[in-house]
Amino acid sequence: MAEIIDNANNLSIQYKGKIAFVFAGQGAQYPGMGKDLYDNSKSAKMVYDIADIIREGTSQQCFNGTKEDLSRTINTQPCLFCADLAAAEALREHDIIPDYIAGFSLGEIPALAFGGYLQINDAFKFVCKRAQYMDECANETNGVMYAVVGLNPDKVAELCQSVDKCYPVNFNCQTQTVAACCSDSADNFAALVKQNGGKSIKLRVSGAFHSPFMNKASEKLSNEFADLKFNTPIIPVLANATAQEYTGTDLMFKQVNSPVLWQKTIENMAELGVTIFIEVGPGKTLTGLISKILPDALTINVENMESLNKAMEVLKNAER
């Protein structure tokens, strides 16, 4: 049973079902993200202040960086980490606490910080290195990613097997699967998708993430952060690589070059009793996917003060 504390009216509001926060992933970023929360929430500002100490200029890159700057993996990941975690902390500031958490790709790292597995500064240091090593791999391997719609995951996996260096990597929902492949195979893969009645959409990302193209990044992270230990978590995080609760830091390294089992993660949350999903961070990509996976779920996004206030209102009026 999820509970929200309404400080203004001193009421304890209970809902039928549990609440999950889902943290936005790479591709959701945009110039100015997080500025409104930074200006109005002490907890959100704290996130950016910590980031600026470790990586000077991160907050200004979020607020004033160009679309091109923010699209570079080495910048995207640290900035999106802040925007995601700032939104979650602003919700916590209003005593909205989830029962479970998950993050899509990059979003998994701020999720681990919010869940208490890692201190914010340690998580941010990790994400800066993650961005660096994944960016290096992307530059070396020259891979691309396609979102395939209109075909089921098994069919997409079958098509990937028939194309050289092509892998299914993001299992988003029953009608959307993302594939990663080398540039030389891209046209061949797109043609096969079309021949089989699907549609392929080339993603605006700099590399073939969550595939063997990222093996070197995973290895470097594993070596550099071998001594990293989890704290006792306060909120369970479900891992991309397994769709189950996190069991150890090795999953942070494995996640980089393993598929994102998003549909299974959301289905497992539903089995755990989650009925309300709040996407924290820029955009509504994850709430859109969740609505396809669980049409009856209540989905909300929080990325600025307007959406935060709207979320508070929706939760107050939700079935309980």
Active-site annotation holds for 206 = no
Question: From CA 19, how far away is CA 232, in angstroms rounded?
Answer: 21
Residue 85 has which token pair? 């975690």
Q: Which of 94, 185, 210, 307 is catalytic?
A: 210
Cα R_g (the chain), whole angstroms: 19
Going 220 to 222 to 223 to 229, the CA torsion angle's sign is positive
Question: From CA 245, how far away is CA 256, in angstroms rounded?
Answer: 17
Residue 56 has which token pair? 């000077």
Q: What is the 3-state secondary structure (H, E, C) of the chain?
A: CEEEEECCCCEEEEECCEEEEEECCCCCCCCCCCHHHHHHCHHHHHHHHHHHHHCCCHHHHHHHCCHHHHHCHHHHHHHHHHHHHHHHHHHHHCCECCCEEEECHHHHHHHHHHCCCCCHHHHHHHHHHHHHHHHHHHHHHCEEEEEEECCCHHHHHHHHHCCCCEEEEEEEECCEEEEEEEHHHHHHHHHHHHHCCCEEEECCCCCCCCCHHHHHHHHHHHHHCCCCCCCCCCCCEECCCCCCECCCCHHHHHHHHCCECHHHHHHHHHHCCEEEEEEECCCCHHHHHHHHHCCCCEEEEECCHHHHHHHHHHHHHCCC
Q: Which of 41, 59, 105, 185 is catalytic?
A: 105
Q: Of 1, 46, 82, 59, nearest to 282 (Cα)?
A: 82
Active-site annotation holds for 105 = yes
Q: Which residues are catalytic?
A: 105, 210
